Chains A and B, each alone.
Chain A
Amino acid sequence: MSTRPGPGRAPRFAAVAGAIALLVALATGAHAYLALEPLGPDATAGPGRTVTVAGVDYRLDRFAVGTRFAPDEAGDDPVRAPAGTEIVFVTFTRTVHDRRSPLDEQFCDVSLRAGDDVWQTDDTVTYRIARPRRLTCSATDDAPLAYDQPARIGVAFLVPAGKADRAVLRIEVDGGDHGVELHR
């Protein structure tokens, strides 16, 4: 008894093989595309509420929008947004509980999003504004991390005026595999 497809079954066999090849190609392409832009965050939170993602707690402390903020250095002039822009200043607290998550590998990508628009942090404003000592999720020499110890982080963005009304802060971790959105 032959296991080869007979002459009559060959077209059907080719069709099935082609369909499987298409499905594999579709799955491969979809995986690559979704890796570019994750569909959405694992959790969202408003002010004061804590959410837990991948063994880490996130709490939004402050989500402020304005054109004038207090300076980090006493005696400096206030930090002012240039004409036509607004400063968005966000502080949040991050607490690592999961012991399987190494403290020296706490990386996150922080961005501000409003619809299709995405902004990265503005280093000039972030350094000048009165803020928590920590600017990133990573441990530094002067701000080490510890399990179960809250770490406060402050970031600032400069955006065109009016764009911040419906903006959210997106924190992506594990190379974008997990994410949290913090709302005003």
Chain B
Amino acid sequence: MTGARTRARSGWVALVVCVLLALVLTAVTPDPATNVRRDWVDGRVGQSVVEPDLTTTVQQVRLARSASRSYGDPFVSRQRLVLVRLAVDVRHRQRLFSRVTLLTTTGLSYEPRDEFVSQGLSTTQAGFTRTATMVFEVPPEHVPGSRLVIDADGGAFDFYTRATRVDLGLTAATAIDPGAVRVPDSTVRVTG
């Protein structure tokens, strides 16, 4: 009888220990929805940021109030336009570039302006380099410290995936282009 009670008590103790262990692990391990989803590859303007299937080089970053394409009226904003000129070398399989955003220091995420879709990143096949300009409209107070994020295209198994983050080097003192900045169409060529 005493043996049975001892076994029952041991069982309860083991159960409580397991529950406590699970609680501690849940509290101390990163949130899989955010931290574990991506293996970030960080870089700066002018630096080649290399993932296994993609190399990204941000060539130039400009701030403006107005930007124009080869057609139509210039796009004018009361906020800031962040123009990111970059080249991407795609390897092994096509990239859709469907999740390219500008991430602020406060965690806000901005998508590129639709008006500049022909100038921005789009589907690129393996072995080709696309040169493009992404245009983001951001409130002035959120511009300093913002980063360009080129996230994975996603898929059925979207965890532990590599993704690129580039510090755009923007500060409160970054100069604003006085006129409308001309944004060229994106181009694609064989990776040299």
Instruction: State the A residues within 8 Å of B (CB).
Output: 4, 32-33, 35-36, 82-85, 116-120, 122, 158-161, 163
23 A-B contacts (beta carbon < 8 Å): A4-B7, A33-B157, A35-B156, A36-B155, A36-B157, A83-B189, A83-B190, A84-B190, A85-B190, A116-B92, A117-B92, A118-B92, A118-B93, A119-B94, A119-B126, A120-B94, A120-B125, A158-B125, A159-B126, A159-B127, A160-B127, A161-B190, A163-B127
User: Which chain B residues lie closer than 8 Å to A36 at the CB level?
Assistant: 155-157
Q: What's the count of A-B pairs with C-beta under 8 Å?
A: 40
User: Which chain B residues lie closer than 8 Å to A85 at the CB level?
Assistant: 190
Given A4-B7, A84-B189, A85-B190, A117 contacting B126 (CB threshold 8 A): yes
Determine the residue in chain B with the shortest Cβ distance to A114. Answer: B126
Q: Is the interface of A mostly helix, strand, loop or mixed?
A: mixed
- Answer yes or no: B191 CB below 8 A from chain A CBs: yes
Instruction: Name 12 extra pairs, CB < 8 A, besides A120-B94, A159-B127, A160-B127.
Output: A32-B156, A33-B157, A82-B189, A83-B190, A84-B189, A117-B92, A117-B93, A118-B92, A119-B125, A119-B126, A120-B125, A160-B190
- Answer yes or no: B97 CB below 8 A from chain A CBs: no
A177 to B88, CA, bound (A): 32
CB distance from B148 to the nearest CB of A (A): 25
CB distance from A152 to the nearest CB of B (A): 25
Report whether B92 and A160 are in contact in the complex, using a CB–CB cutoff of 8 Å.
no
CB distance from A169 to the nearest CB of B (A): 15
User: Which chain A residues lie closer than 8 Å to B125 at the CB level?
Assistant: 119-120, 122, 158-159
- Answer yes or no: B128 CB below 8 A from chain A CBs: yes
A85 to B129, CA, bound (A): 12
CB distance from A123 to the nearest CB of B (A): 10
User: Which chain B residues lie closer than 8 Å to A84 at the CB level?
Assistant: 189-190
User: Which chain A residues lie closer than 8 Å to B91 at the CB level?
Assistant: 117
User: Which chain A residues lie closer than 8 Å to B190 at the CB level?
Assistant: 83-85, 160-161
Contact with A along B87-102 (1 / 0, CB 8 A): 0000111100000000
Determine the residue in chain B with the shortest Cβ distance to A32. Answer: B157
CB distance from A114 to the nearest CB of B (A): 9
Within 8 A of A (CB), among B140-159: 155-157
User: Which chain B residues lie closer than 8 Å to A33 at the CB level?
Assistant: 157
User: Which chain A residues lie closer than 8 Å to B126 at the CB level?
Assistant: 117-119, 159
Within 8 A of A (CB), among B113-155: 125-128, 155
